[in-house]
Amino acid sequence: MKPTVLFLCTGNSCRSQMAEGWARHLKGDVIESYSAGIEKHGMNPHAVRVMAEAGVDLSKHFSKTIEDLGPVHFDYVVTVCGHAHEHCPWFPGKAKVVHVGFEDPPRLTKDMPDGDEKLAVYRRVRDEIRRFVETLPEALATPHVSKRLKEMLTAKQTLVMPDAYDPISARIIEQAGFKAVQCSGYSYSLAACKKHEIDIGLEENLAITARIVEAVSVPVMADGEDGFGGVEQIPNTIERYVKIGTAGINLEDQVLDRQPGTRIIDSGLMREKIRTARITAEAVGNPDLVINGRTDALRAFGSRKDGLREAIQRGNLYLEAGADIVFVTAVSTLEEVRELVREIHGPLSIAAGLARDLHAFSINDLKELGVARVSLPSIAISAAIKAMLQSMDALKSGVFTDLIREGRLCSPQDIGRLIGP
């Protein structure tokens, strides 16, 4: 039986219609294709025209909502909205949801007169959609973002992943040339003016992470905290992060509460959490989901030597349980990094740019030692807060001289590059 695929967007007028048209034209023998929106905006005539140029007839297509399709069981739902300012529809049900963003031609061309320049935008997006459809159904069976992230983590080059806290920070990270984005629960809490990271619960974390995933085309790794509960909660947590399109997830052994100090759960319990996460990822259709097993053992022991020994033991245990990479927190010296690289039998992740290690080692130091991944948990939000504090202070003069002279403000061109024309 052929898998059923629904291409979903807001108005079902352009991109989702193009995707359905291409899928029926190119892949009609291997997938059953539909398109819909949460609203009906009517068929876009420019989309119909450029598809006709490519030999695909959309003249009999019409704008539909999900309800108009009736009781169709969908194996896959592909959301095709392109950027953070667009709100991709949430699809209820058990279908596997995959986000593949394409820019919106009507929005890009709203100020253009009809003519070749406008049609060129529609043709470009048409051809991008065709290239994606040509990869079906294989690209749906193995989500490409997780596979890409896993390949980067196992490559010889260190993967540097700055941490984002909202869609615009993620977009800046992507446009700066970084190949993947890490989400930071700590930064989420700061941005929300929360004193504790645990004040950001599963629902809020998911919502922020989903918007970040929508904002970029590079792989995004979620901060799954401690899984937001015990072992019994892990299947729900993993399934929901897979559904919003994350390429990977952090799971930590730290006890998350408001008590002073750092405590960690039993290593056997953490092993079971990771094992359950791996089984769930495979069950919901993403066997390549990158699981980052985090240990806070270095902070949980009075002795650094004992903490390092425990971190190594746990790291190897988590890899055996199904983690793809081990994240050891609170590393403060290059000698500790060397020992971890030497003794942990798999890819290692180290956090850098924090107050405690800012002067201890650089990104380049970690690259030279063979660290697989370097995360930067607080650089983005710390830089943003500092820039705003300085800008607000400069406004007390009553003039804009300092802001202009010191180049503290984005130009319209800067914003255009981030958001689009």
Catalytic residues: 9, 81, 88
* Residue 217, number of CB atoms within 10 A of its CB: 14
Per-residue H/E/C for the chain:
CCCEEEEEECCCCCHHHHHHHHHHHHHCCCCEEEEEECCCCCCCHHHHHHHHHCCCCCCCCCCCECHHHCCCCCCEEEECCCCCCCCCCCCCCCCEEEECCCCCHHHHCCCCCCCHHHHHHHHHHHHHHHHHHCCCCHHHHCCHHHHHHHHHHCCCCCEEEEEECCHHHHHHHHHCCCCCEEECHHHHHHHCCCCCHHHCCHHHHHHHHHHHHHHCCCCEEEECCCCCCCHHHHHHHHHHHHHCCCCEEEEECECCCCCCCCCECCHHHHHHHHHHHHHHHHHCCCCCCEEEEEECHHHHCCCHHHHHHHHHHHHHHHHHHCCCEEEECCCCCHHHHHHHHHHCCCCEEEECCCCCCCCCCCHHHHHHCCCCEEEECCHHHHHHHHHHHHHHHHHCCCCCHHHHHCCCCCCHHHHHHHHCC
> Integer distance in angstroms from the first to the last C-alpha of the chain?
43
